[in-house]
C-alpha cells in the first residue's frame, strides 16, 4: 500500500516531487505537488 501523505517523495515525469496535499473530488483523488502549479493522479506517481 502506498501512502500519499504530505512530505512523501515520488518520481513524476522524470523528476523527484513532494506531495503537498490531497484533493478528493467526485472524479477521484488528485495529488497537489509542492512547488508546482499542477495536480496529478496517484497512478502517475512512482514511489521512490
Q: How many domains does the chain have?
A: 1
Give the confidence band of 36 by pLDDT, cuts at 50, 70, 90. confident
Residue 2 covered by a domain? no
pLDDT at 7: 95
User: Domain limits at 37?
Assistant: 9-47
Q: Where are the beta strands (DSSP E) in the chain?
A: 9-12, 15-25, 28-33, 39-40, 46-47
pTM, entire model? 0.84
* Residues 15-30: tens digit of each pLDDT: 999 999 999 999 899 9
Residue 3 covered by a domain? no
Residue 4 covered by a domain? no
Residue 1 covered by a domain? no
Amino acid at each position: 500500500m502506498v501512502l500519499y501523505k504530505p512530505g512523501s517523495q515520488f518520481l513524476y515525469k522524470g523528476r523527484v516531487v513532494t506531495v503537498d496535499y490531497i484533493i478528493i473530488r467526485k472524479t477521484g483523488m488528485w495529488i497537489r505537488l509542492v512547488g508546482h502549479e499542477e495536480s496529478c493522479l496517484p497512478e502517475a506517481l512512482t514511489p521512490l
